[in-house]
Structure 1
Amino acid sequence: MPLQPLPDDRPDDRVASVFRFATELVAWVATPGALWSVSVPLAVLSVIVLIGLPTVFSTPGDKRNVIVAVPGYVTIALVVLQVVAAVAAAWAVWHAFAAALVSVLAIVAVVMELPRWRWLLSR
């Protein structure tokens, strides 16, 4: 299937996506680390959820390839899940200084995501 162009009314989020992706990476690393001592299967499941759900479910027009189309508020909820997981897990397993940096990263990512989220809510 050929790639479809993104809609013209979609906000440019190239810079915001860098911060969003950095936050996702923290979630993907810190969350299983935080859950490992509780339950290894739960730690593995957290990675599957944090990576798999946003891969499978997306809002048409937000990504070039959509596997399962969902409304914009679902995409926003998946981003919020990543942000909350990153911050909570960082505070659970990392030094306070690193966790504070993750918290600042998360705040910047959310603020930069707001134009995209407004657009997603119109979908």
Structure 2
Amino acid sequence: MTATGQESRQQAAEAWYATALRAGLELVGWICAPIALWPHSIVLAVLVDVVLIGVPAVLQTPGDKPGGGTVVAVPGWVTILMVLAEVGAAVAAAWFVLPAPVAVLVSVLAALCLVTEQPRWRRLLRA
């Protein structure tokens, strides 16, 4: 299969709403986790974003993202664990930083994200 054919197959494997939902929750985690940790430790507040943003940028499963090069190749289960960490950080931090109704919404969206991620996770575990 050509590289272009492989890219289009991967793009078709993941719905746009699954990507958007995951990206939105990542943003919530990137913003809320440091805010939640700041009063306890400025170092931890900075470190949490280094981990939540930097680690997934460096550790990638080959073929997971169309058009993207892999810096350090990792198996699919590592990518799944990173997604779980991102979503978990978003939910936990939301309950500390955001009003309760918004934290409930983040929690519901996180549960929905775990459902929409299933096709991608199956593909990552097969690879």
Using the size of structure 1 for normalisation, the TM-score is 0.91
- Tell me the alpha carbon deviations over residues 63-121 of structure 1, each in whole angstroms, 9 at most, x when there is no partner: 22111000000000000000000000101121111100100111111111100001001
2:104 equivalent to 1:100: yes
Q: Select the residue among 67, 71, 79 that pairs with 1:67.
A: 71
Match of 2:38 in 1: 36
| Aligned AA (1:31) | A
Match of 2:123 in 1: 119
| Stretch of structure 1 that moved more, 7-16 or 89-98 | 7-16
Q: Work out whether residues 13 and 113 of structure 1, in 8 Å CA contact, stay in contact via their aligned partners in 2.
A: no
The aligned runs of 1:39-58 (5 Å cut-off) are: 39-58=41-60
Instruction: Tell me which protein shows more helix as a share of its residues.
Output: 2
SS at match of 2:64: coil
| Stretch of structure 1 that moved more, 79-88 or 103-112 | 103-112
Q: Work out whether residues 13 and 116 of structure 1, in 8 Å CA contact, stay in contact via their aligned partners in 2.
A: no
Distance in 2 between the 1:98 and 1:40 partners? 25
| Aligned AA (2:103) | A
Root-mean-square deviation over aligned CA pairs: 1.4
Q: Count residues in correspondence.
A: 120
Structure 1: where are the runs of 5+ without partners?
none
- Tell me the alpha carbon deviations over residues 14-59 of structure 1, each in whole angstroms, 9 at most, x when there is no partner: 2200000000000001100110001001000001100001100110
Structure 2: where are the runs of 5+ without partners?
none
Using the size of structure 2 for normalisation, the TM-score is 0.89
